[in-house]
Amino acid sequence: MKLINGYDLMNYAKKKGYILPAFNTTNMEMTYAIAKGLDDAKLPGYIQISSNNLRLSNPKVIADLARDAASRYDTPIGLHLDHGKSYADVQACVEAGFTSIMVDASHLPFEENVAEVAKAVQFCHFYGIPVEAELGALQGKEEDIVNEADAKTDPGMVEEFVRATGCDLLAVSVGNVHGLDLEPHVDLDLLKTIADISPVPLVLHGGSGIPFDVIQKARKCGLLKINYGSDLRKAFIRTFGEAYEANHNAHDVISLSMKAVENVSAKAKELVEVINA
């Protein structure tokens, strides 16, 4: 199946009552593993990559890999830019064939955040591609970027932000964190308050540390998409780490890479199934 347009994927999930997982990739093995895991579960979701991780490749390379991976299966899979840090990245990803975009200007003051998101929205909507934006800030480590601020989303700003930007999804900060070094404390009451106000569905980043029972409760609070990075990266890295510890002369890259695909796809399958149980 070809990569699915973000609007179509969102509408499909709403119709079926699914939460869409968005699994972060970095390379070829992770990309193929995510697609395999989603198909093994027969549940929809996203392959996604952040602006930060595009340093290792480029949008066209990732889009080509994702298209090939998705073409092997019948499960609906989208390709999402996670934490798009510049308008140039947004443009490059749309032109490469990404089917969903996040522009992250949450580090800027409210008015500047609105302006950056609105600019990206105007461009992406011309091509029929939905845009996710973020209001608030998460503590923790996202790849190699550390944020010590904890600025929870202000419900009083939500409706104005969504209306002014035209965004299609809203990532919120409600006690969720990036990475596994901090323990998340998701404020479900705050999430419900935001959901009741927000004109668009909500997104939680930092899914790897959030207990599954909390995710099931969040599912009833307007949650449509949840991001996972650390769990899959651990499965990938552990494959090579265990091989090295067992034999410091280990050098069979192809066998270990194929094993890593199996391990990562198993973790993706587990996650998408449990959040949609």
Amino acid at 232: L
* Residue 45: strand pairing partners: 77
Alpha carbon distance 131, 171 (integer Å): 11
Q: Which of 269, 197, 273, 232 is nearest to 82 (CA)?
A: 232
Classify residue 115 as exposed, middle or buried by CB count within 10 Å of its CB (0-12, 13-18, 19+). middle
Position 55, amino acid: R
Integer CA distances (angstroms), 163 to 71, 118, 158, 166, 170, in order: 36, 10, 9, 5, 11
145: β partners: 142
Q: Which helix (H) or strand (E) holds 223?
A: strand 223-228
In angstroms, the CA 190 to CA 256 distance is 44
CB 263 within 8 A of CB 238: yes
Catalogue the active-site residues: 82
